[in-house]
Amino acid sequence: MPVSFSDLQTAFSKLGLTKNLVIAHASLRAFGPIEGGAETMLNALLDSVRGIIMPAFTYKTMLNPEIGPPKNGITYGSETDLNKMAEAFHSDMPVDPTMGVLPEVLRKHPKAKRSSHPIQSFAGIRADAILNTQTIYNPLAPISALADQDGWVLLLGVDHRVNTSIHYAEKLGGRLQFIRWALLQDRVVECPGFPGDSEGFNAIAPALEKYTRRVEIGNALVQAVHLKSLIKVVVDQLKENPFALLCGRQDCERCTAVRWS
């Protein structure tokens, strides 16, 4: 049986978030067939929360220069071919396909707004004030604003490896941030505050247990995590162990840069 709008609505209502703003991350494939697909998912979410944002990142604007600052988790001059294919950011540039289909459906919704960061933009509905906080110097400011508004993180069939809010908490916890470069119509812009690698983020899950609400829908697990609590838990872990939540890959440039910082 495919998952229906009312299945989604019933399950989401158990999360008790009708008065809250959320940042959502989703893999629709995890749910199995959904009647009406991504549009149904988005409409059910809009029915169940006060407002929503999703990362609408655009990695194809990125350029890798020949030289740059050290300890930046990058091998300079290594992506000459990708540089040739880089596209200048524009406000209706599609969301990177690696983010899944839901953020692109959200971005194209008639009521959606999108922030203008050339790599790390967010799309949202009924969350304009949150989106407006983003700057080129503070790309994850919307996460901070969301936490101030008692927001929640919604993980829809995905785990903490896509949980962008953990990156914001890492920054607060003093973790090394990176610089990247993006192509605009008329110039290249330096983008500070680019986060580290997220492959090791699932290690945070046990510590978030008491701040997490769960429902199952179809084949998928949906988790809602209280954002302010998540940020505190991550900052506390980094205080205790500056290498917490790094991945185990020897060749991971960003985790290696953090270990040497």
Q: Which residues bind Zn ion (CB under 5 A)?
A: 197, 199, 247, 252, 255
Q: How far apart are CA 22 and CA 149, in angstroms?
A: 10
We find the least distance from the C-beta atom of residue 199 to Zn ion, in angstroms, to be: 5
Task: Name the residue nearer to Zn ion (CB basis): 227 or 246.
Answer: 246
Task: Name the residue nearer to Zn ion (CB basis): 221 or 247.
Answer: 247
We find the least distance from the C-beta atom of residue 83 to Zn ion, in angstroms, to be: 23
Tokens of 169: 């908490």
User: Which residues are CB-neighbours of 253 under 8 A, at least 6 positions away?
Assistant: 73, 74, 75
Task: Name the residue nearer to Zn ion (CB basis): 135 or 261.
Answer: 261
We find the least distance from the C-beta atom of residue 240 to Zn ion, in angstroms, to be: 19
Task: Name the residue nearer to Zn ion (CB basis): 179 or 188.
Answer: 179
Angle at 76 between CA 186 and CA 193, to 5 degrees: 65
We find the least distance from the C-beta atom of residue 257 to Zn ion, in angstroms, to be: 10
We find the least distance from the C-beta atom of residue 252 to Zn ion, in angstroms, to be: 3
Q: How far apart are CA 26 and CA 117, in angstroms?
A: 21
We find the least distance from the C-beta atom of residue 169 to Zn ion, in angstroms, to be: 17
Task: Name the residue nearer to Zn ion (CB basis): 159 or 199.
Answer: 199
Task: Name the residue nearer to Zn ion (CB basis): 9 or 256.
Answer: 256
